[in-house]
Structure 1
Amino acid sequence: MFWAFFLYLLAAVAMQVPLREMSLIEFHKAITQIDSEFGNEYEVVHYLADYLSAQGLTVELQLVEEGRENVYAYLGDQRNSKVLLTSHIDTNPAGKIPYHLEGDEIHVRGACDAKGSVASQVFAFLELWDEKVIGEGDLALLFVVGEEYNGIGSLTAVNDLNASWSNAVIVGEPTDNKLSVGHKGNFRFDVNAVGVSCHSGYPEQGFSAVEYLLGRIEHLLQQEFPYSSLLGPTTVNIGTFHGGVAANLLAPSAKAEIYIRVAEDIQLVNRTVDRIFSTSHSNYTIVQMLEPQYLDYDVPGFELVACSYATDIPYFKGKTAKRYLYGPGSILVAHSAEEYILPGDLYEAVRGYKSIVKYNI
């Protein structure tokens, strides 16, 4: 980590540019110490907006829902740009982690997912501007809410922001600073079952929604979905399950949240879910349905990786010439109680984002 940081400073001095990156770690600390779990992004949104405005960028706040806004920033008056750097500012609901250091590791919720990308993208933008690589109409920043649940921030930006990015959109997520060749799609749905409550000593008088829904879920888990040679297997996660009233009553209702990571053929997944859960005793609601994604990775000098998670990148399909997925940190710690990032990874990501931008402007 030290040598990565030292070499980074030498490069900056050699180019005779302002050492804005000296505050990269402080900036990362500032935004990660602001709680921004899904639905609670207001404070970090306005911190980012104020910071970017103070740096001289033109900043817009786009209303997504009441109390929730996206941050859009660019140079001068040109809202459209050749390239867009974007990531999300909401964090997952896996529990708070107070900011602390363990050796070189920075531990805090959002360290890598995805405020590491946010911080690195901001400083990549500022350095490119300092170096006079970019001017008006070359590069914009978009930081969105809601990625961790339903992608509402990116969807709102694509549909209603009235801005365009002709050459490339670069989405920031933890990829270990490798360029992603693609990632799995997702089929996320809520399912409800209805039973008839009665005394548990006389089960023939009722119908247990819990038992019924457990049986339907077991049927789903037994399905064989297509395998992708690039993205691997389709996987199913039963995220939450709730049901019943008491141990001595048959359950009158039950519900579950289910997330399928789709490697191939999302329409088959859709038909399978419909066949299993659209019955006289259960129904389901699709929360999010996004195809597997195959991305651009033509920038020289990067290792490549296929990702098993999903991102907001599907919303940008058809909205730009190329789509890239790249960012600091490991997805393997992103939703855990040990989420962390290394300072050297943040500095490396600044260099990586700059390389991808320069390749596409």
Structure 2
Amino acid sequence: MQSRALLERLISFPTVSRDSNLALIEFVRGYLAEFGIEAELIESDDGRKANLWATIGPEHVAGVVLSGHTDVVPVDGQDWSVEPFEMSERDGRLYGRGACDMKGYLACVLAAVPKFLEAPLSRPIHLAFSYDEEVGCLGVRSLIEALERRPVKPIACIIGEPTELRPVLGHKGKLGVRCRVHGAACHSAYAPRGVNAIEYAAKLIQRLGEIQTRLAAPERRDERFDPPFSTVQTGVIEGGNALNIVPAECRFDWEVRALPGFDPREVEEELKRYADDELVPAMRAVAERTSIEFEPLQAYPGLGTDADSPVARLIQTLTGRSDFGTVPYGTEGGLFDQAGVPTVVCGPGCMDQGHKPDEFIEIQQLEACDAMFERLARHLAS
């Protein structure tokens, strides 16, 4: 099947992260079986989802991983002019949820299977299709754990997030944290007798702002990124019941988008020290049963591949481009790289279309990705 026809089939599976991806995975497994390729499934704990791993070519030689996620973001509340889970075409564009992010890449990978088989390959090509990328790069972790137990580790991984086929060597990592402030309620007429959870949360958020100022200092910048520094922001806050009650509870969610080489846990540790050393003692001076708690939400590492590395030279050969770039969003690439598999990000489509109503990919981009995989087959056969 051509990449366009395969994309139509992949879009038809509504693999929103909250739902199962098994129907899509079984389709892919059946498609590969038609070529005599056996696929291994690594299921989630509840059995509702699965990663897929398949190898084309020699088993006991270090090869190249083509990796992408099968889940997509929801369409709820978005104003689509076309059916989101039925592919449609208009003006050289193919529309549908996931067309760009990132079923277009998966379709090109699958369409290239016959070319990979004909090569013949001196090094294997591994297909790694994951779940739950959109909710924190969760599903791929069990696939990588299984990969680390194998006797031969791949020499390269290409993550097919939409970059318009521009080679991307870097992206920021992320740490998401929920903070819960447990204060003490009282009538607001006697406010000093209570512990205002919202006000203490505000002190913590102000400290995050101070940390952000330090992270934006010139000596901590990397101009390859936009913005060129690690960022801290509070995205959700909730607390209080009524204006005449000193609020006993407040919680807020905050995140760090960290440059490669900066550990975002440093921010969390500083905030915890501030809470433990200064805020909690002041709270307990008024009411003993008060506290501040931190709960992890999500985390994944950044990616910072060297421009002189073999994987960077490989993607330059495949794309004919040396204008290496970075992206502001996260990918599963940092996890592969952390596991010792050198990684780049390069795929068809533009992330400007991702997560939006009427998501699309240009047919020209699919064709260019097909050509890239033809070059990969020739390169690994030579």
TM-score exceeds 0.5: yes
Question: Does residue 297 of structure 1 match 2:312?
Answer: yes
Q: Secondary structure at the match of 1:193?
A: strand
| Residue 86 (structure 1) shift | 0.9
Between the aligned partners of 1:206 and 1:336, the Cα distance in structure 2 is: 45
Question: Does residue 106 of structure 1 match 2:94?
Answer: yes
Question: Does residue 42 of structure 1 match 2:15?
Answer: no
Counterparts of 1:153-192 in structure 2, within 5 Å, are: 153-161=139-147, 162-163=149-150, 164-192=152-180
| Residue 359 (structure 1) shift | 3.8
Unaligned stretches of 5+ in structure 2?
Answer: 281-290
Contact 1:83 1:165 in 2 (8 A): no
| Residue 9 of structure 1: aligned partner | none
Q: Secondary structure at the match of 1:159?
A: helix
Question: Does residue 119 of structure 1 match 2:107?
Answer: yes
| Residue 264 (structure 1) shift | 4.6
Q: Which amino acid in the other structure matches residue 240 of structure 2?
A: G
- 1:309-330 deviation line (CA, Å, top 9, x unaligned): 2111122226566422110111
Between the aligned partners of 1:248 and 1:105, the Cα distance in structure 2 is: 56
Q: Which amino acid in the other structure matches residue 208 of structure 1?
A: N
| Residue 259 of structure 1: aligned partner | 255
Contact 1:187 1:266 in 2 (8 A): no
Counterparts of 1:202-217 in structure 2, within 5 Å, are: 202-217=190-205
Question: Does residue 270 of structure 1 match 2:256?
Answer: no
- 1:201-232 deviation line (CA, Å, top 9, x unaligned): 54334333333324422331342312113232
| Residue 5 of structure 1: aligned partner | none
Contact 2:94 2:362 in 1 (8 A): yes
| Residue 56 of structure 1: aligned partner | 36
Q: Which amino acid in the other structure matches residue 294 of structure 2?
A: Y
Provide the identity percentage: 20
- 1:145-166 deviation line (CA, Å, top 9, x unaligned): 1222232322211212444443
Unaligned stretches of 5+ in structure 1?
Answer: 1-19
Between the aligned partners of 1:293 and 1:343, the Cα distance in structure 2 is: 30
| Residue 142 (structure 1) shift | 1.0
Between the aligned partners of 2:380 and 2:254, the Cα distance in structure 1 is: 38
Contact 2:260 2:304 in 1 (8 A): no
Contact 2:123 2:380 in 1 (8 A): no
| Residue 331 of structure 2: aligned partner | 311
- TM-score, length-scaled by structure 1: 0.81
| Residue 16 of structure 1: aligned partner | none
Between the aligned partners of 2:56 and 2:270, the Cα distance in structure 1 is: 51
| Residue 175 (structure 1) shift | 0.9
- 1:274-313 deviation line (CA, Å, top 9, x unaligned): 2224523433233314144225421231243211221111
Q: Considering only CA atoms, is the larger Rg found in Structure 1 or Structure 2?
A: 2
Between the aligned partners of 2:262 and 2:154, the Cα distance in structure 1 is: 28
**Among 63, 68, 93, the residue aligned to 2:49:** 68
| Residue 192 (structure 1) shift | 2.0
Contact 1:198 1:250 in 2 (8 A): yes
Contact 1:183 1:293 in 2 (8 A): yes
Counterparts of 1:174-253 in structure 2, within 5 Å, are: 174-222=162-210, 223=212, 224-225=214-215, 226-231=220-225, 232-253=228-249
Classify 1:273/1:139 alpha carbon distance in 2 versus 1 (closer, same or farther; 3 Å): same
Question: Does residue 343 of structure 1 match 2:363?
Answer: yes
Contact 1:59 1:71 in 2 (8 A): yes
Contact 1:86 1:170 in 2 (8 A): yes
Between the aligned partners of 2:97 and 2:376, the Cα distance in structure 1 is: 27
| Residue 284 of structure 1: aligned partner | 294
Q: Which amino acid in the other structure matches residue 274 of structure 1?
A: E
Classify 1:338/1:168 alpha carbon distance in 2 versus 1 (closer, same or farther; 3 Å): same
Classify 1:252/1:259 alpha carbon distance in 2 versus 1 (closer, same or farther; 3 Å): same
Q: Which amino acid in the other structure matches residue 71 of structure 2?
A: D
Classify 1:292/1:221 alpha carbon distance in 2 versus 1 (closer, same or farther; 3 Å): farther
Between the aligned partners of 2:90 and 2:191, the Cα distance in structure 1 is: 55
Q: Please provide the CA RMSD for this pair.
A: 2.9
| Residue 6 of structure 1: aligned partner | none
Classify 1:180/1:215 alpha carbon distance in 2 versus 1 (closer, same or farther; 3 Å): same
- 1:95-142 deviation line (CA, Å, top 9, x unaligned): 46533545333333222112122112222333332xx21448621211
Between the aligned partners of 1:357 and 1:123, the Cα distance in structure 2 is: 12
Between the aligned partners of 1:35 and 1:246, the Cα distance in structure 2 is: 41
Going by fraction, where is strand more abundant, 1 or 2?
1
- 1:17-65 deviation line (CA, Å, top 9, x unaligned): xxx32xx223212212322222422332223222322343211211232
Between the aligned partners of 1:25 and 1:216, the Cα distance in structure 2 is: 50
